[in-house]
Amino acid sequence: MQRAFGAGGPAVSVIGQGSWYIEQGDRREAIAALKRGLDLGLTHIDTAEMYGDGRSEAIIGEAIAGRRDEAFLVSKVLPHNASRQGVRAACERSLRQLKTDRLDCYLLHWRGPHPLAETFAAFEALKQEGKVLSWGVSNFDEDDLDEALEAAGKGRIACNQVLYHLRERAIEHAVIPWCERNGIAVTAYSPFGHDDFPESGSAQGRLLAEIAAAHGATARQVALAFLTRRASVFAIPKAGRTAHVEENAGALELVLTAEQIARIDAAFPLGRKPHSLPMI
């Protein structure tokens, strides 16, 4: 399943492929897994200059060789590189690692020392040149988003990439509603809790398994379907193994019933709004 990446944005796969630490596994297997993901429609591929100091980008560059047009490619600039000149240099390094001439979306990884207006002016300049087709932010809370909108103006910010999994639903309080009001895509990172997925023997795990069985699906597929139940949200699980990618792709067409959503909501309580946005 694909949906618009923010208001007026391109159609992008609801489930994608993350790549943090992908360089630490078997390289050939990681490339095969990414390619298999592309075959199965997991075309939203996420990386960052930070991941393995560019080695994650290089692996993705190999995986998408000859298939660049199939991918919606996202990378991120580190906050300390996000000056006017630094953004350009970082973007050009990322393009070289990825062996491409453009990013579909370029994100500020989290807020840092450089004024947002300066970073965003650099993003806009890259957009004018066609080196990035859209840009956005990551780990931005509601007040950061207010400032970002003020600095950028309406209709410029494509995405906010934030932590979101069954046991960490803080963005539902204010960040998702803010992004929906402003036509900004929300990308859920660490959708399996960065490998903290409910044990199958636990009460939470048993509930996921029961709902999964009703769909001939798996617990992880149910989790991905729950996280992407709103039309604004995309998820980017990282999988360095082909079998995991195949399982994750099985969530692309899974739609939960309202009753199933309510049961998951009760089993993984939203909790109170935290003082600051959780991130990892």
Residues binding ligand NAP (CB under 6 A): 18-20, 46, 109, 138-139, 161, 189-195, 220, 236-241, 244, 247-248, 280
Q: SS3 of 185, please?
A: strand
Q: H-type helices in 182-227, by residue range?
A: 203-215, 219-227
Q: Which is nearer to ligand NAP, 129 or 202 (CB)?
A: 202
Minimum distance between the CB of residue 264 and ligand NAP, rounded to whole angstroms?
17
Active centre residues (catalytic): 51
Q: Which is nearer to ligand NAP, 243 or 262 (CB)?
A: 243
- From residue 35, alpha-carbon distances to 21, 39, 44, 61 in Å are 17, 6, 12, 11
Buried b (16+ CB within 10 A) or exposed e, 60-84: bbebbeeeeeebbbbbbbebebbbe
Minimum distance between the CB of residue 72 and ligand NAP, rounded to whole angstroms?
13
Q: Which is nearer to ligand NAP, 29 or 150 (CB)?
A: 29
Minimum distance between the CB of residue 21 and ligand NAP, rounded to whole angstroms?
6
Minimum distance between the CB of residue 258 and ligand NAP, rounded to whole angstroms?
25
**Position 137, amino acid:** V
- Which residue sits closest to ligand NAP, CB atoms considered? 18
Q: Which is nearer to ligand NAP, 46 or 83 (CB)?
A: 46
Buried b (16+ CB within 10 A) or exposed e, 90-111: bbebbbebbebebbbbbbbbbb
